[in-house]
Chain A
């Protein structure tokens, strides 16, 4: 597609439930990233997929968080047993392979855990 698409745009869930957030990157972009933006804070790196390489999961805050990328395209971020501190905007970005490429961000999914 023309841009990075994320769904849903808003998600309200009860504490303890699992949620899945979806990211559809720009066609042909080999790299895909998930970030979290909490109120009053900057962008927190979560996970990075580059082509067929093993993902860099170093930013995932706990084992309740996981992500996969199927067929080198669409990615799903899963948060199990959600907690109130998980409330944030979850941003997905994709980029081409060269190091000097900037990212194209999606509009994000605003997750609220009540």
Chain B
């Protein structure tokens, strides 16, 4: 079955640490990939997206993600996290014009 997997349920980091959140998907066709962020008490916001071209995508707030087709992965990275990055992060995959499917989410806690 088609699925999106986020392997880390809860990640705890200190400020200035580097971040990498894993995302793998099982769709076989052409896909569009997204990362969404949900800050405490706020609604989901788009962080970045990939649909073609350079597989290294830059997003807002210093985040980036790399699409590795051979690994069916779209990991999210940030070189140095801040306390304000504490949030829940969702990876999502959209195949053609179908609906978007989300991973279970990864809760990031950044200690000041």
Contacts and interface: CB of A to CB of B under 8 A. Distances in A.
Given A42-B90, A99-B32, A99-B51, A108 B43 contact: yes
Contacts of B102: 35, 42-43, 45
A42 B97 contact: no
Most buried by A among B51, B96, B97: B97
A90 interface: no
A106 B43 CA distance: 7
Interface residues of B, number: 25
Contacts, number: 55
Contact of B96 (A93, A99, A107): A99
B34 to A, nearest CB: 5
Interface residues of A, number: 21
Nearest to B44: A105
B68 interface: no
Given A99-B32, A100-B49, A41 B100 contact: no
A105 B100 contact: no
Interface of A: 33, 35, 41-43, 45, 48, 50, 56, 91, 93, 97, 99-100, 102-108
